[in-house]
Amino acid sequence: MSRKSFNPDCDVREWTGAQRPYDILKEGAIALLVVALLTAGLALVFGSPDEKQVTIQQWSSADPVDFAATAYSELAGTSGIAGYGAPYNNASDGQFLGVTHLYLAKMVGVHIPIDPARTFVLQPLGTLPDAPTLRFALSTWKNASETQRGAWLDEYAKASLSFSHGHLTAAPLSLSNPVNELIASETAMARSGALDSTMGTGGGLYTTDYTNVLLFIADGGWFATLADHQHLLGDQWGMMNETGSYPGQAWLWLYTFWYQIHPFSTSGNADVDAWGIMMLLTAGLILVPYIPGLRSIPRRTKLYRVIWRDHYAGRV
Amino acid sequence: MSDILGALVNLDHPGHYISWGWFQMSYGNFAVVVAMVATFLVALVAPFPGRQKEKRS
What ipTM goes with this model? 0.83
Pairing of β B17-20 and β A167-171: unpaired
The rounded percent of chain B whose pLDDT value lies above 90 is 40
Residue A226 reports pLDDT greater than 90: yes
Q: Are A124 and A199 in contact (CB under 8 A)?
A: yes
Smallest CA-to-CA distance from A56 within A192, A170, A173 is with A192
User: Which of A44-48, A207-211, A263-267 is the least confident region?
Assistant: A207-211
Q: Render the burial of A119-156: b for 16+ CB within 10 Å, e for the rest.
A: bbbbbbbeebeebeebeebbebbeeeeeeebeebbebb
pTM: 0.82
SS3 A102: strand
> Which residues, 6 or more positions from A316, have their beta carbon under 8 angstroms from its beta carbon?
A310, B54
pLDDT tens-digit series, residues A263-301: 999 988 899 999 999 999 999 999 999 999 999 999 999
Q: H helices within A166-269, ranges in order?
A: 179-192, 194-201, 211-219, 222-229, 253-257
CA angle A83, A236, B41 (to 5 degrees): 135
Mutating which of B8, B9, B19, B24 best tests the A interface, going by the most A Cβ atoms within 10 A?
Answer: B24
In angstroms, rounded to a whole number, what is the distance separating the alpha carbons of residues A55 and A222? 11
CB of A45 within 8 Å of a chain B CB? The answer is yes
DSSP state of A13: P
Domain ranges within chain A, ordered by starting residue: 56-226, 231-316
- CA nearest A195: which of A207, A185, A206? A185
Question: Is the Cβ pair A248, B29 closer than 8 Å?
Answer: yes
For the segment A36-58, the average pLDDT, to the nearest whole number, is: 92
Beta pairing partners, A78: none
Query: Which H or E element spans position A76?
Result: helix A64-76
- What residues of chain A lie within 8 A of the CB of B36, using their CB? 250
Q: List, for residues A245-265, the tens digit of each pLDDT value.
A: 999 999 999 999 999 999 999
CA distances A301 to A11, A37, A254, A294, A298, Å, are: 18, 35, 24, 11, 5
So what's the pLDDT on residue B51? 61
Give B17's contacts in chain A (Cβ within 8 Å): 231
From chain B, pick out residues whose CB is under 8 angstroms from the CB of A246. Answer: 11-12, 15, 28
List Cβ neighbours of A128 (8 Å cut-off, separation of 6 or more). A134, A185, A189, A194
* Contact flag A237-B24 (C-beta cutoff 8 Å): yes
